[in-house]
């Protein structure tokens, strides 16, 4: 029976690996070898990776690819993408080339506000609390000044403070709803530091406020934390062209393809079961660039999906229209991203990814990431409404199947050639590889 471990974090890396291997795996020596296999040969670089998180035992690699030919606002980009799923980079690259020949992508940031909240309880009269908050507002800003000084020099800082009465949802519950501009930083540490100072000031001033006299602990703070829901930090990206300029496919004219694309988006907008998969495809493109640029893809995912359900029903993040013969395809999506701070200056591949993108500002990165999501969605829907999703995806997945079967380089070459003119299915790959291996 495995026993609880004490002081695990204080053990050396070697000791941690040995304990995991011996207690949780069937072949400890093999486990240790696999973990060491993924260490970096440069000891200094490996130490840097070890210090990103706690209890590090190895590195977990994702393929880093590049999708070229993205024309965005007249500028040509090659977009770095870190992802394990077959066909994502290929689909993005295909969509990029497709729209480069039709005027490219156009993107603009609609807002940059980020949100943080101090959650607290109060049991007195709402009017008294409102009067207290009017008194408190300048003191909150003054006390936070040592934290906000550098951000304000860069043009950011605190944009607004608002008392919100949430007692209709939960008895005694109020919040200090705070809006921030964090410029090129994602800003989580900055926002949380401000919020914790607000909390300290709130409690101190409430204890001395004349209007609360006679009330024991008139205000109690529960927590102070940023929100990953940023509906005012939004970017829009779009493509448009005459429907007749869309490439005919599967016996369909460009106009017919446009009609099908619009219908597919309308289905995702009214059918949640479809919308979830539809938006997952968008996130294939978004997450891949977010990871490659050292941003928090979990925060982005949470905020994006909340935004998709902002009216109480989960809907498509993209829209499409066909008006007077013109096809338009767009996305509006919240993206709280940064190009300074965090891993952006530490992780060598993140630094390289940002260099490949031309050292973008946070606004420019928002535009690039939104375009990657839009391109991915266009490629997926276009396949779905014409030839089907599996033809292209399975061709990209072919090498994964062959690697699972231990195919040699010569066998891979032969199989790739065969499936240029045949439909890829797992069963067919197995059948053909077995047939090939039976040949003299």
Catalytic residue numbers read: 85, 280, 296, 393
**Cβ distance 283 to 301 under 8 Å?**
yes
Residue with tokens 């066998």: 411
Is residue 183 left, alpha or beta, with left meaning phi > 0 and alpha meaning psi from -120 to 50?
A: left
CB 68 within 8 A of CB 356: no
Helix (H) or strand (E) holding 36: helix 28-37
Rounded CA separation 244/435 (Å): 45
Cβ partners under 8 Å of residue 77, min gap 6: 70, 71, 357, 358, 368
Question: SS in 3 state form for 300-349?
Answer: HHHHHHHHHCCCCCCCCCEEEEEECCEEEEEEEEECCCCCECHHHHCCHH
Place of tokens 């807002």: 111
Report residue 429 as tokens: 């790959």
């Amino acid at each position: 029976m495995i026993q609880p471990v004490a002081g695990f974090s204080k053990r050396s890396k070697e000791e941690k690996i040995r304990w995991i291997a011996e207690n949780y795996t069937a072949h400890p020596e093999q486990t240790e070898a696999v973990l060491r296999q993924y260490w970096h040969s440069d000891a200094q670089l490996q130490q840097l990776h070890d210090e990103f998180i706690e209890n590090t035992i190895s590195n977990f690699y994702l393929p880093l690819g590049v999708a070229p030919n993205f024309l965005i606002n007249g500028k040509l980009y090659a977009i770095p993408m870190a992802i394990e799923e077959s066909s994502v980079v290929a689909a993005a690259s295909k969509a990029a080339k497709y729209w480069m020949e039709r005027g490219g992508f156009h993107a603009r940031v609609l807002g940059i506000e980020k949100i943080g909240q101090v959650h607290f309880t109060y049991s007195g009269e709402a009017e008294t609390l409102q009067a207290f908050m009017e008194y408190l507002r300048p003191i909150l800003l003054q006390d936070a000044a040592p934290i906000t000084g550098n951000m304000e020099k860069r043009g950011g800082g605190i944009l607004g403070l608002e008392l919100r009465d949430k007692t209709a949802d939960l008895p005694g519950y109020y919040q200090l709803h705070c809006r921030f501009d964090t410029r090129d930083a994602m800003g989580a540490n900055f926002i949380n530091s401000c919020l914790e100072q607000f909390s300290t000031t709130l409690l101190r001033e409430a204890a001395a406020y004349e209007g609360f006299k006679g009330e024991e602990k008139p205000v109690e703070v529960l927590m102070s934390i940023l929100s990953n829901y940023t509906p005012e930090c939004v970017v829009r990206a779009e493509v448009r062209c005459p429907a007749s300029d869309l490439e005919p496919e599967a016996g369909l004219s460009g106009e017919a393809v446009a009609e099908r694309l619009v219908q597919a988006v309308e289905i995702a907008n009214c059918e949640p079961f479809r919308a979830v998969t539809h938006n997952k495809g968008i996130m294939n493109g978004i997450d891949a660039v977010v990871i490659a640029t050292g941003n928090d893809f979990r925060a982005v995912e949470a905020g994006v999906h909340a935004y998709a359900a902002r009216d109480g029903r989960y809907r498509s993040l993209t829209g499409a229209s066909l008006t007077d013969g013109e096809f338009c395809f767009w996305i509006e999506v919240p993206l709280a991203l940064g190009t300074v701070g965090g891993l952006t200056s530490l992780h060598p591949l993140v630094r390289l990814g940002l260099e490949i993108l031309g050292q973008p500002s946070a606004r420019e990165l928002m535009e690039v990431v939104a375009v990657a999501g839009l391109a991915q969605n266009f490629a997926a829907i276009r396949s779905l409404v014409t030839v089907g999703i599996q033809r292209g995806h399975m061709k990209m997945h072919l090498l994964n199947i062959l690697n699972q079967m231990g195919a040699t380089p010569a066998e891979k070459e032969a199989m790739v050639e065969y499936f240029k003119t045949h439909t890829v299915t797992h069963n067919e790959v197995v059948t053909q590889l077995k047939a090939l291996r039976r040949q003299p």
